[in-house]
């Protein structure tokens, strides 16, 4: 199996961007803010202490999951 070169990767990324929505276009097309109260309500787990990483904001987490589904689908 051949190793991918820089230009191959650039062409692949260009094709993907043409086919699929990017974060910028999805941010413009989807009204995310009305979802915030619903997401906050379902993600109201209180932290027990200050140890560990802080939680990811629910709206950002939801956007990540939506993008994952969009970009991983065939």
pLDDT of 24: 65
Rg of the Cα atoms in the chain = 17
Whole-number Cα distances in Å, 29 to 26, 32, 36, 43: 5, 9, 16, 24
Q: What contacts 32, CB < 8 A, 6 or more positions away?
A: 59, 62, 63
pLDDT of 33: 92
10-residue mean pLDDT series, the chain (74 residues): 70 73 71 90 77 85 86 64
pLDDT of 74: 47
């Amino acid at each position: 199996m051949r190793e991918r070169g820089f230009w191959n990767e650039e062409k692949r990324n260009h094709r993907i961007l043409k086919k699929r929505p990017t974060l910028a276009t999805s941010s413009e097309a989807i009204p995310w803010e009305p979802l915030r109260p619903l997401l906050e309500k379902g993600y109201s787990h209180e932290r027990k202490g200050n140890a560990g990483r802080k939680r990811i904001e629910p709206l950002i987490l939801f956007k990540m999951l939506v993008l994952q589904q969009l970009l991983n689908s065939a």
